Amino acid sequence: MKKMTSREKNEMLWGWIFIAPTMLGLIVLNIIPIFQTIYQSFFKTGDFGKGNVFVGLANYQKVFGDTEVWQALWNTIKYAVFEVPLSVVIALILAVLLNKKMKGREVFRTIFFLPMVVAPAAIAMVWKWLYNSNFGLINNVFGIKVNWISDPNIAIISIAVIGIWSVIGYNMVLFLAGLQEVPRDYYEAASLDGANGVQQLLYITVPLISPTIFFVLVTRIIGAMQVFDLIYMIIDYNNPALKKTESLVYLFYKYSFEQSKKGYGATVIVVLLLVILLLTIVQMIGQKKWVHYE
């Protein structure tokens, strides 16, 4: 091995000094905790959070037989299946409509993005009130009587609607950035060939910004699988739809911090990690079929 020059030594020293705070922090705050959480999932926490008893894989066996966990996984998937595709499609259409010189472009963009800067806690409170079955704005304006958030069959969809409403502006801005890369003459050529707006969207826009769509899909699915705030804020303990709306992160919070069963809480969150990893890998493989990189 060749000896380092003093300049190289100096660079190495400063390199390590510069990354030291970040790496130290990441190792202590994040990397070690990953292993601690996995380790914790092999323990049963006693009453009042006292005493950790090693139980091996018993928590995982329990998870597989636990209908509440399966239901929560199903609720989480249902939420994601409604939220992600709809928010992506609506955002893509809005981005295409806004992707031209027009009056009021900035104003529309600012309005659509607005929910991104408001705490989900506040957003959930106002939607809970809009959804109120007796006095809520939605039922009154349309003269209907739907139990939006207490009917177990539709509550999770009502919550997904809030999720869509919250995130379309964010997705739209990402799509707008992607659309900047699409050359204008593609559309001119297509129009000359007689392609209408929908055809242009499907055959030019979507393939050309497919890397952006892929990125948004992957990050939105990860985000949607971690849904918590909206459900926690909207569904009260005595809501009949509670069991049909709790998500995996909600269960994690309930077990770990409300019931002090940190061992079982850790198991639930490791399961979520595995589900998210699996979904991401499937998408990474699937992208080869439809994502076009230049």
Partner 1 sequence: MTMKDRINKIVIYVVLTLVSITMLVPFVWMFLTAFKTVAETMQVDPFVLVPAVWQTENFGKVIAAMDFFKLYVNTLLMIALRVLCAVLTATLSGYAFARLKFKGKDFMFGMVLFQMMIPVQIFIIPQYVMVSKLHLTNSIMGLVFPGLVTAFGTFLLRQAYMGLPRDLEEAARLDGCNIPQTFLFIMAPLTKSSMVALGIFTAVFAYKDLMWPMIVCPDNNKTTLASALAKMNGQYSQKYPELMMAALIACVPMIVIYIFFQKQFIEGIATSGGKL
Min CB(238)–partner 1 separation in Å: 10
Q: What's the number of CA atoms in the CB half-sphere (13 Å) around residue 164?
A: 20
Nearest residue (CB) to partner 1, 148 versus 170: 170
Nearest residue (CB) to partner 1, 121 versus 189: 121
Distance CA 6, CA 88 (A): 53
Residue tagged 């493989």 (tokens): 285
Min CB(18)–partner 1 separation in Å: 4
**Contact, 76 vs 250, CB < 8 A?**
no
Min CB(105)–partner 1 separation in Å: 9
Distance CA 294, CA 286 (A): 18
Nearest residue (CB) to partner 1, 118 versus 189: 118
N-terminal to C-terminal alpha carbon distance within the chain: 40
**Contact, 264 vs 175, CB < 8 A?**
no
Nearest residue (CB) to partner 1, 177 versus 282: 177
Residue 210 CA: distances (Å) to CA of 56, 268, 289: 44, 33, 11
**Contact, 83 vs 163, CB < 8 A?**
yes
Min CB(28)–partner 1 separation in Å: 8
Min CB(56)–partner 1 separation in Å: 19
Nearest residue (CB) to partner 1, 98 versus 156: 98
Neighbour count for residue 59 (Cβ, 10 Å): 24
E strand or H helix that includes residue 34:
helix 32-40
Distance CA 14, CA 249 (A): 41
Nearest residue (CB) to partner 1, 71 versus 260: 260
Min CB(70)–partner 1 separation in Å: 19
